[in-house]
Amino acid sequence: MSNFRPMYNALQKVIKKFVDLDDSEWQHLQSQFKIVNVPTRQKLTEIGTTEKSLYFVVKGVIRLYCINAKSEEITIFLFSENTFVSCYQSFLTQELSEQALETVEDCTLLRIDYQSFHRLHVDLAKMNQLTRAIADQRFINSQKIFMGHITRTAEERYLDFEKHYGNLLLRVPLNIIASFLGITPVSLSRIRQRLSKK
């Protein structure tokens, strides 16, 4: 277990931001998360299936995406280290997902299945606080993206992405970033060229 301790330490640090667990509570929660290693471009969840897992990213990048009316993949969000990842609506409702999850890099993840997640809420009252925090963060992120697409220009959206997620520019293919920003790869290339000359 000592070789895996840093992975669980990362999870513990994030959880401590939301809830304060004693040693026995933490040990119980930790025991429900299993370590999984997933290669690049691996589907974790397919559109039209039911989300069975919630993941914590120890290492790597995962994209959440959907398919539009033109059968194009539209990136909804990019998750990297120290974040919880899931097709969350499907996970909570156990209904078919309209979204998909795919790894962008080789990933090391901590995975908890729906049944274990549900049991934790019975065993640990503080899990309700943690779940609320995860849901709140997802809502805030979605609102920021939604408002950004309405109120900001493509260049402003790119600059905001560079400010908050600049490390991903070297880790995520530009066509995926362009999709996330709601522009074409050609438009993104032009924006980057224009900014480089300023």
CA atoms within 13 A on the CB side of 5: 3
**What is the residue extent of each domain of the chain?**
2-151, 152-198
Pairing of strands 107-113, 73-79: unpaired
What average pLDDT values come out for the chain (198 residues) when binned by 10 residues?
A: 72 91 93 96 98 97 95 94 94 96 98 95 89 84 84 93 92 96 95 88
Q: What pLDDT, on the 0 to 100 scale, is given for residue 8?
A: 92
What are 16's two structure tokens?
């401590």
* Cβ neighbour number for residue 80 with a 10 Å cutoff: 19
Q: What pLDDT, on the 0 to 100 scale, is given for residue 64?
A: 97
What are 37's two structure tokens?
């290693």
* Cβ neighbour number for residue 128 with a 10 Å cutoff: 12
What are 106's two structure tokens?
């080789």
The pLDDT tens digits for 102-146 are 999 999 999 999 999 999 999 998 888 888 888 888 788 888 888
Q: What pLDDT, on the 0 to 100 scale, is given for residue 145?
A: 85
| Domain 2-151: which CATH number of 3.40.50.300, 3.30.70.3270, 2.60.120.10, 1.10.3720.10 | 2.60.120.10
Q: Which pTM does this prediction carry?
A: 0.91
Distance CA 95, CA 28 (A): 28
* Cβ neighbour number for residue 132 with a 10 Å cutoff: 12
What are 59's two structure tokens?
């290492």
